[in-house]
């Protein structure tokens, strides 16, 4: 595969509304991000994933794009964006942008042209039914908003009309076109044009929103053969014209790697390995491995993880998240000491780490916030970054910010920089250790022990990682040379015995195998 830089990448995800406000309007912006690049780099991150920066009415937090070739004035000028990219590169950092390929804003000029009652060159750029009384089963059809005869299909919200990449299975030829039709191919070429535009501006790749949603009626959940064909075609273009470009998919299925993506997010889906590792408590009668009462199951996590890893390890990577803009933050469900164990495990497993802004200080998920810009339950994970104890936690000088700021004397950057035992300083140590050992960027991975709430033990080449999520000491029958040096630990290091390992409560240990 190309993109050799991805192997050693550690990403920091920035939701631009909420990171740093440089002009006092209550929203984060490009200049604010640029001014904090040294901070991001100091964590050990060498890449940034920037959530949507495009011109948008923000009916879905920027995932409703009005103009794909223009930055949002909310975040600054075109020059501000270019300076952000230029400065990041000067500091040795890569930047990937959010690509939203499946739908636009209803205010997008191409959609408005498509919605005109008279047939034109963009009539088929979006998916329209034949008549205004058509409400096809299995699709969300929006009616009565435009004078064009027919209703338009949306992927999610009514303000997000679906772009026409065609259908794999055509059930009604009166309005459904094949994905091999000229109209569908023109949409694909339009998308390539969007990508070329931002790559020429200096970005290093894309995280692709809802990457599996392009072609409709496209086989079983996850596999999507026609959508995969579209992405293979796009990947071929990138390999030829921009060979160092990274594609990271929001797909959460091994098929994404076969479709041409370099990495794929392991998202918080019911029963998948990420869910079973850290997110189980969000569902009734399901517990994560890190459940403090030992109700989780390391075996179920390991089985799912290994099965998935075996399918992708030769061709791509997991993208392993601390959280993201669509997912509740882990705090306050876990203490900072538990978070240290979780991050140590996540970021020593095979994959590319993605740290969501604020997770490095343990920012909390804020429940029951009123929805802003259609964030709904996600709103509580998008509150402003907590920099210090000044007004608006140092995020902004505005009288009112985009979302309310949390003032917390312990959960802010300045306080944690001063505390040697803080989560922030721990993240720096963890990422520095990860960087120092080639084993963590290799594809070598083997589970040595995974059973119930017992310690999870896995090998990364010549390293042995041991984690105990419980408050009690446990033993596991994994034999380690008593002279094997401890390279890294949280809590008391595990102790080799003749019959196995004694593992201290709430601990994580990395041995160098001898």
380-436 confidence digits (pLDDT tens): 999 999 999 999 999 999 999 999 999 999 999 999 999 999 999 999 999 999 999
- Write the pLDDT tens digit of every residue in 234-273: 999 999 999 999 999 999 999 999 999 999 999 999 889 9
Mean pLDDT of 141-150: 96
Mean pLDDT of 12-24: 98
- Report which of 269, 357, 422, 361 is spatially closest to residue 11, judged by C-alpha positions: 357
For residue 281, is pLDDT > 70?
A: no
Tokens representing residue 294 in the block: 């030992």
CA 253 distance to own-chain centroid: 14
pLDDT interval class at 72 (50, 70, 90): very high
For residue 1, is pLDDT > 60?
A: no
Q: pLDDT over 70 for what percent of the chain? A: 99
Beta strands in 230-300 (DSSP E): 246-249, 263-265
> How is residue 467 annotated by DSSP?
E
pLDDT interval class at 362 (50, 70, 90): very high
Mean pLDDT of 349-374: 97
Q: Give the model's pLDDT for residue 439.
A: 98
Mean pLDDT of 289-293: 93
Mean pLDDT of 95-104: 98
> Measuring CA to CA, how many Å separate 58 from each of 18, 155, 181, 451?
14, 16, 32, 46
Mean pLDDT of 4-10: 97
DSSP string, 476-501: E-----TTPPEEEEESSPPEEETTEE
Tokens representing residue 30 in the block: 């490009």
pLDDT interval class at 3 (50, 70, 90): confident
- Write the pLDDT tens digit of every residue in 186-215: 999 999 999 999 999 999 999 999 999 999
Mean pLDDT of 444-452: 97
- Write the pLDDT tens digit of every residue in 369-393: 999 999 999 999 999 999 999 999 9
Answering whether pTM is above 0.85, one says: yes
Q: Give the model's pLDDT for residue 220.
A: 78
Q: Give the model's pLDDT for residue 342.
A: 98
Q: Give the model's pLDDT for residue 283.
A: 66
Burial (CB count <10 Å: 0-12, 13-18, 19+), residue 444: middle
- The b/e string for 123-160 (b: 16+ C-beta within 10 A; e otherwise) is bbbbbbbeebebeeeebbbbeeebebebbbbbbbbebb
* Backbone φ and ψ of 20, nearest 5°: -155, 125
Q: Give the model's pLDDT for residue 222.
A: 81
What is d(CA 182, CA 362) in angstroms, rounded to the nearest whole number? Answer: 50
For residue 285, is pLDDT > 80?
A: no
Q: Give the model's pLDDT for residue 282.
A: 58
Mean pLDDT of 64-87: 98
For residue 304, is pLDDT > 70?
A: yes
């Amino acid at each position: 595969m190309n993109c050799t830089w991805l192997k050693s990448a550690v990403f920091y995800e920035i939701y631009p509304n909420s990171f740093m406000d440089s002009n006092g309007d209550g929203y984060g912006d490009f200049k604010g991000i640029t001014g904090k690049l040294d901070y991001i780099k100091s964590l050990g991150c060498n890449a940034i994933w920037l959530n949507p920066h495009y011109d948008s009415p923000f009916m879905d937090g920027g995932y409703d794009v009005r103009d794909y070739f223009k930055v949002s004035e909310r975040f600054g000028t075109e020059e501000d964006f270019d300076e952000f990219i230029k400065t990041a590169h000067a500091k040795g950092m890569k930047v990937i942008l959010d690509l939203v390929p499946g739908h636009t804003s209803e205010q997008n000029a191409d959609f408005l042209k498509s919605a005109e009652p008279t047939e034109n060159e963009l009539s088929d750029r979006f998916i329209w039914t034949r008549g205004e009384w058509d409400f096809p089963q299995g699709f969300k059809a929006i009616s009565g908003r435009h004078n064009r005869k027919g209703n338009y299909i949306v992927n999610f919200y009514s303000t997000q009309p679906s772009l026409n990449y065609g259908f794999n299975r055509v059930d009604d030829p009166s309005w459904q076109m094949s994905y091999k039709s000229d109209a569908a191919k023109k949409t694909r070429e339009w998308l390539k044009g969007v990508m070329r535009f931002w790559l020429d501006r200096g970005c290093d790749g894309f995280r692709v929103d809802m990457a599996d949603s392009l072609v409709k009626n496209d086989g079983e959940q996850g596999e999507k053969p026609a959508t995969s064909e579209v992405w293979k075609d796009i990947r071929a273009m990138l390999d030829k014209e921009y060979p160092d470009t990274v594609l990271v998919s929001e797909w959460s299925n091994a098929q994404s790697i076969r479709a041409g993506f370099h990495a794929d997010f392991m998202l918080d889906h019911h029963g998948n390995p990420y869910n079973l590792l850290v997110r189980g408590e969000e569902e009734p009668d399901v517990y994560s491995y890190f459940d403090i009462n030992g109700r989780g199951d390391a075996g179920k996590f390991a089985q799912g993880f290994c099965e998935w890893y075996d399918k992708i390890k030769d061709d791509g990577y997991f993208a392993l998240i601390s959280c993201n803009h669509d997912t509740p933050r882990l705090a306050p469900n876990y203490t900072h000491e538990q978070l240290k164990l979780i991050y140590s495990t996540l970021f020593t497993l095979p994959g590319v780490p993605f740290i969501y802004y604020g997770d490095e200080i343990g920012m909390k998920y804020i429940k029951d916030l009123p929805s802003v810009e259609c964030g709904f339950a996600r709103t509580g994970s998008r509150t402003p970054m907590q920099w210090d104890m000044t007004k608006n936690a140092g995020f902004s000088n505005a009288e009112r910010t985009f979302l309310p700021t949390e003032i917390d004397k312990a959960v802010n950057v300045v306080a944690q920089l001063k505390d040697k035992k803080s989560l922030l300083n721990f993240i720096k140590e963890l990422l520095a250790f990860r960087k120092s050992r080639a084993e963590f960027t290799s594809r070598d991975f083997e589970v040595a022990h995974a059973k119930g709430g017992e310690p999870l033990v896995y090998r990364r080449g010549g390293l042995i990682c041991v984690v105990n999520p419980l408050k009690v000491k446990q033993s596991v029958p994994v034999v380690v040379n008593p002279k094997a040096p401890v390279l890294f630990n949280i809590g008391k290091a595990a102790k080799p015995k003749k019959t196995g390992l004694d593992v201290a409560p709430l601990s994580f240990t990395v041995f160098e195998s001898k």
